[in-house]
Amino acid sequence: MSTTPPVLAAELAHAWADIQRHHPELPDLAAPESLIGESSSACGAELSFERLLHEAVHGVAAARGVRDTSRAGRYHNRRFLAIAEELGLDHPEEPHPSSGFSLVTVSPETRRRYRLTAERLQRALKAHLAATASDTKRSFRGPAARHGSSGGGVRVKAVCDCGRNVRVVPSVLAQAPIMCGACKTPFQIVEAVTVAASS
């Protein structure tokens, strides 16, 4: 069952359908909620129409059976780049050492083509962020959030009561507790434990 607010889900579906209109081989968007919230640093820090086009490149690559990334999906290769150009995305001259050609941007012509769709999506995203802002102010998101990263690939130390520790992406730990097999208590991010103890 989708947890995406209906208005935002509808706007995501509308925007995706508009991209499909220009690129019919693009598969349907099965799970809008997968695009909301945390995202990998390789694919962009926040949801936007530009990020949606980026994800559409991956969708077209999948439909064609093209392997467009390596290094667990972090490095975007020249096959990704070729499809990105087809979908109207510009790119840097040289690849980034760790993420390749992931830092694509919408070309002026593509921006004009999708202007109304992008504006509709942006309004829905702003409304979604405003509605969820009070929830995120009280939740711990780890050090990555303070440094402008989504935390998609940044792991932080989490400890349990018996002193064992693991490295974990904060967004993964926020989804559900990770229990220690030895002491049966949940792992907690060290900084969050320190803050709780001092308050």
Looking at residue 171, its pLDDT comes to 65
pLDDT digits (tens, 9 = 90+) for 42-90: 444 467 889 899 999 999 999 999 999 988 878 999 999 999 999 999 9
CA-nearest of 116, 112, 83, 129 to 15 is 116
Name the packing angle between helices 49-64 and 78-86 (round to 10°). 110
Q: What are the percentages of helix, strand and coil residues in the chain, rounded to 5?
A: 50, 10, 40
> Rounded to an integer, what distance in angstroms lies between the CA atom of residue 1 and that of residue 4?
9
> Rounded to an integer, what distance in angstroms lies between the CA atom of residue 117 and that of residue 122?
9
Q: How confident is the model at residue 35 (pLDDT cuts 50, 70, 90)?
A: low
Looking at residue 36, its pLDDT comes to 61
> Rounded to an integer, what distance in angstroms lies between the CA atom of residue 101 and that of residue 91?
7
CA-nearest of 75, 67, 68, 58 to 16 is 58
Looking at residue 190, its pLDDT comes to 66
> Rounded to an integer, what distance in angstroms lies between the CA atom of residue 69 and that of residue 163?
37
125 contacts 48 by C-beta, under 8 angstroms: yes
Looking at residue 168, its pLDDT comes to 74
Which of residues 135 and 99 earns the better pLDDT score? Answer: 99
Name the packing angle between helices 49-64 and 6-22 (round to 10°). 60
SS3 144: helix
Whether the per-residue pLDDT at 17 is higher than 90: the answer is yes
Looking at residue 137, its pLDDT comes to 46
Whether the per-residue pLDDT at 13 is higher than 70: the answer is yes
pLDDT digits (tens, 9 = 90+) for 122-164: 888 888 777 766 554 444 444 334 333 443 456 677 888 888 8
Scan for tokens 């998609």, then name that residue: 152
> Rounded to an integer, what distance in angstroms lies between the CA atom of residue 97 and that of residue 80?
15
**Ranges 62-66, 93-97, 165-169, most confident:** 62-66
SS3 19: helix
Looking at residue 46, its pLDDT comes to 62
Looking at residue 187, its pLDDT comes to 81
Mean pLDDT for the chain overall: 77
